[in-house]
Structure 1
């Protein structure tokens, strides 16, 4: 389970909204002050991202710090779909185009390139379709793990209810 601390910013009838801060890897480096990348990271500040979670069985109030988690399987499946499906489509269509056009004595690489672009686009659209299918699936959403703070002072645990 990939875990991240977040702050509750809204509690609605059927869900809660939590806010996390996207952290740069430079923020934990000892060379932050003497590194060009670290200086750029400090100049642009931190970005905040909001997530909607199902209303938990735990009592949650605005301002509470919570621990949310996402399954590694979900993250890896989404990455596979979003990054690799278009690449697979590109390669398969390029190879298909190369051999198909060679059978017709058309050997210009531009046609293979066009086949590859079409294949990459088809892979992209397949990944987009699959992501829309699972968007409302509860297994593909972040889960509230516990209400507490970063200092391991667990106030309430989701699994203890």
Structure 2
């Protein structure tokens, strides 16, 4: 499970609005001050992601919670978005090269156009699959637990 900490920003019955801060690797690097990428990362404000979930856990505004998405679901979605257009393009390019160019003697420009058209079709298929309600439910973050904000001090040295 891929987990992220989020803060409760609004509550409406069992609907809870959560906000998490998107992290950049530059903010955790020790060379941040000496690196050009680190300087650029400092110049742009950090982005925040807001999502709504339904929960039965009693929460208050300002509480920190841990939300998560299943690894398998996220990897499947990423595979579809990146690989479906690529696979469609490679298959179409191979077919176009072997049939249109080699057999019919057409120009390679047609093979390139055919491959690009197949990549667009692959992208549209991936987009349709990602926008389905079942996939949206799978990728909806789930509330895992409420973070304990209290720090107990038992001994001061």
Q: Sort the TM-score into its range (normalised by shorter chain).
A: 0.7 to 0.9
Alignment of 1:147 onto 2:146: yes
Paired position in structure 1 for 2:83 = 84
Paired position in structure 2 for 1:40 = 40
Paired position in structure 2 for 1:4 = 4
Question: Is the alpha carbon distance of 1:128 and 1:60 closer, same or farther for their aligned partners in structure 2, counting shifts above 3 Å?
Answer: same
Unaligned runs of 5+ in 2: 153-157
Identify which range, 31-40 or 88-97, moves more after superposition: 88-97
Question: 2:17 is paired with a residue of what secondary structure?
Answer: strand
Question: Is the alpha carbon distance of 1:136 and 1:8 closer, same or farther for their aligned partners in structure 2, counting shifts above 3 Å?
Answer: farther
Contact 2:130 2:136 (8 Å CA) reproduced: no
Question: Is the alpha carbon distance of 1:66 and 1:86 closer, same or farther for their aligned partners in structure 2, counting shifts above 3 Å?
Answer: same
Question: 1:5 is paired with a residue of what secondary structure?
Answer: strand
Q: CA deviation at 1:90?
A: 1.1
Once the two structures are superposed, residues 18-77 of structure 1 have per-residue CA deviations (whole angstroms, 9 ceiling, x without a partner) of 111111101111101111100000111211111121x21211122111100111101101
d(CA) in 2 for partners of 1:136 and 1:116?
28
Paired position in structure 1 for 2:98 = 99
Question: Is the alpha carbon distance of 1:87 and 1:18 closer, same or farther for their aligned partners in structure 2, counting shifts above 3 Å?
Answer: same
d(CA) in 2 for partners of 1:9 and 1:133?
28
Paired position in structure 2 for 1:156 = none
Question: Is the alpha carbon distance of 1:96 and 1:151 closer, same or farther for their aligned partners in structure 2, counting shifts above 3 Å?
Answer: farther
TM-score by length of 2: 0.88
Identify which range, 109-118 or 126-135, moves more after superposition: 126-135
Alignment of 1:112-127 (within 5 A): 112-127=111-126
Unaligned runs of 5+ in 1: 154-161
Once the two structures are superposed, residues 62-110 of structure 1 have per-residue CA deviations (whole angstroms, 9 ceiling, x without a partner) of 211110011110110110111111111111111111112022122x221
Q: Deviating runs (4+, > 6 A) in structure 1? A: 150-153
